[in-house]
Each structure stands twice: as structure tokens, then as C-alpha cells.
Structure 1
């Protein structure tokens, strides 16, 4: 599962993390945009990035960061271009937040890890934070996280953010289960009708079409 190419050996001096998930709809965009807004609110210059060609999510990233969101698409550009594109986009930033696409290991159909979030994370040598929709799970979440953490040893899973929790007790059960996995819980978010972003058949509703709501969601 190794990612070959000169980019894998390139120096990366910008602090960075990748926000990934087991599947689409887990809350990657909500968490990534929230982190970008939180860092920017502390006076840091944040460089936002999105794995793949998606132009909608970067619109929310840009609102939160106050600078353009940039794509990292290994399918269109080739894996060897990911590091240079990242460094160019992150020039002058204090840190970078990279939002993944689909599930962590999902790439171009029939082409292995190509264009997956995992591949980009390995090329950038970036730690991965896994956002897990735990709304219908308790102890099983540990098996899920263990699988993602162990599938590819070159992917560095730094921790988990538990999303869509039902109660304090639910959170306690999940944390107890994950203690056995050895993967730290970095945060937990409750279910909320105000959280998340409206979607339709092609994905999220673009920020430009709901600017007032989009601005409020990242404030």
C-alpha cells in the first residue's frame, strides 16, 4: 500500500492534519469547517484544502478561513503533484486543514488507493483525524476504529472525533469502548438540528446560494 514517487520524500514544513471519515455523511465538512473557523478565530492563518475535485466544500472552508479553499486531486494531477500543490496553497499559513473525500480508503474505482484521502495523507505525511457517526453504535465503534487504524500501517490515525451522539451516557459508552482500541478520542459532538449543512442530489448546497446561513454556520 506504499505511496511511491518523489513527492513522498519532499519536505513538508507546514503543520497539518487531515479530517477523514469511514464514509460520506459522517460529518467531515462540519468538523473541518469548524476547526478552520476555530483556528482562524484565534488569530491563526489557516490554509484549507479538500481532497478531490469538489468545489462546494471549499466554499465553506473559504468562509471560515478568510482565504481560498484549494483542491488536492491525485486523479487529475497525479500523486507527484500533491505535495507541490499543497505547499503552494499553504504558503504563509500557520497551519493547514485538509478535508478528505468519501471514506478514508475510497479512491478512484478499480485503481486501488489512487486519489483516496489515505493516499493524500501519506504523501503529505499528515496525521489523520477520523470523524465517526456513532449515532447507532456503542461498543462496535471500537471495532470500526480498530479496522481503520490497522488497515494501512502507513496511515497515521491520530485520533477520533465522535459525531451525532445522543446523550452523555452514550458518550461514556463510546469512550469506554475506544479505550481498548488505543486510539484517543479527541472530541465528541451531540446530535443537533442546527449542526451540519443542507444537501441535495449533487452534495451540499453551495455556500454562495445560502450565504447568510453559511456565514452563520461557521461563525
Structure 2
């Protein structure tokens, strides 16, 4: 659980950093080499990885400090927070509140920053006079936007949806999306702008649908 939370929190922050990178590249292209130099990139990536570690370790510790006096079998395919809290033998309101606060900090705040970044990006793109320039700018952001929608959509439903509204079956399916399917698709999504990859996928699709 600890590693899943740490990797998930880092992913949220890294996606925010990537949105800032796209913002600088499109809105301030002449300053991009200066603003996003190697040192700044290393610092942003390091901060994304390190900042979530103490929070997620603390989150895991406070959940597993609960008493579990009944069955230790959860209706899930891995130790995620909601199913583990369901088998605790004590009132878990404070634990759920802590989970909600952490989810807001690591999901909603980065998501809002991404929305602000893309608001400025779209505003700058629409000001471009060339249709080709607008298309190129949009294609620069397309892969990142797809990952943001998939990852934040599923994570928000899992950790911010009110508990009474959660279905165990849907919860397992959504968890499968953000822990297995989306990370598996990430390399494909991020390489869609590569012409060789695009051509290979077209050839594969042509052979498959003949």
C-alpha cells in the first residue's frame, strides 16, 4: 500500500510538472531553455518524488495502526485504502477524513494547477494566426492531456467519492485502471506523436482489419 500511494502521489505531482513544462514551451517558447534548464528539471522531478514519501508513509502507518479483529480478507485485488478500512473493527471516520485531506492535496490541488496551466495554453494557442501552428501546439499537449484525464478521473472516483456511493465491483475495476491499465498504456500514449510509432500502429491496424 505504501509504495502504491507513493508512486500515485508522485505521478500526480509529475503530471503537474509536465503541465508547467508544456505551459512554458507554448506560452514562453523563447525563455524555455532558460526556465526549464537541466538543473530546474532535476529539482522539480526530485521534489515530486520526495515530497510525497513522508505523507504516504504516515498515511499507511495510521491505517495499519487500526485494530483488525475479524476476517483479514478484503474484497479487492490489492491492499488499497477503502477496502482495508472496511474490515477495521473501530470507527474509521478520522482515518477517512485524513485520506480525504491527503487526496485533496495530492489530487485536486495538482489537478487545479493543471487546469490553470491548460487554460493559459489554450488561450495562447487560440491567438495563433496559423492553423498549422495551432494544430502543432495542440498535438504537443495531446498525450499529456489523455494521461491526465485517465489518471485523475479514476483516482478522483476512488479516493474522493463519498463512501456510501461506492460500489465494490466498480471500485475494483477503477483501481485496475489506475494501477495496471493506465501505466501500461502510458508508453504508447506518449509515443503517439512519434511518426515511426504512428506508422507502425497504422500498419498493424491495417493487417488486423483485413
TM-score grouping bracket, smaller chain normalisation: under 0.3
TM-score, normalization: structure 2?
A: 0.24
Which has more strand, going by share of residues? 1
Which has more helix, going by share of residues? 2
Larger Rg, first or second structure (1 or 2): 2
TM-score, normalization: structure 1?
A: 0.23
